[in-house]
Amino acid sequence: MTTTNNRFTPGGFLKIMSFLHLGIAATPIILGILFYTQSQGAQMNFDTSGDMLMAIVPVVAIGSIFLGDFVFKKMLNGLSKDSSLRDKLAKFQTASMIKYALLEGAALFAIVIFSNTQNLSYLIIGAFLIFFLLLQRPTKDKIERFLDLRGEEKAKFDQLNEPLD
């Protein structure tokens, strides 16, 4: 009889983060493709007269980028130097999910507005947000840099298959 214990390893954490990131990014990609293929008579229109959405959607897009980055940095700056590596990784995961969700929400908002207005400029804004979200993909190097891992913590994180305390 073998016992299975929940071993939290850096390699497992990287896989989970990559899977969550991909799952969050997939929704607006699929919805954007679906709405674009179903669109009829979609055209580019930058006419801002009488269209409040032409002001709202870019503000929401830019706001989500800056707010996500602000919240992410604020949460990681609140980490104590005495925190365990496991706690730091958990905080990184939470901060990342908030950042990804803000970008996903803004992209979905732009894509839904495109489906209602058939104005391709909203789809382009949504595509830009999706691209920016894809650039946020968590990698081992990014995590080490954002958490400022050094010395013993970096050595533990480099051992991908060794369980963390």
- Mind listing the pLDDT tens digit for each residue in 29-53? 999 999 999 988 878 877 666 678 8
Helix extents (H) in 39-150: 53-77, 85-117, 120-135, 140-147
Residues 152, 7: Cα–Cα separation, whole Å = 19
- Whether the model pTM is above 0.85: yes
pLDDT computed for residue 49 by the predictor? 66
Considering only the C-alpha atoms of the chain, give the largest distance between any 2 of them, rounded to a whole number of Å.
72
61-99 pLDDT per residue, tens: 999 999 999 999 999 998 877 888 888 899 999 999 999
pLDDT computed for residue 79 by the predictor? 83
Residues 73, 131: Cα–Cα separation, whole Å = 21
Residues 118, 53: Cα–Cα separation, whole Å = 12
**Once rounded to an integer, what is the mean pLDDT over residues 107-118?**
94
pLDDT computed for residue 83 by the predictor? 83
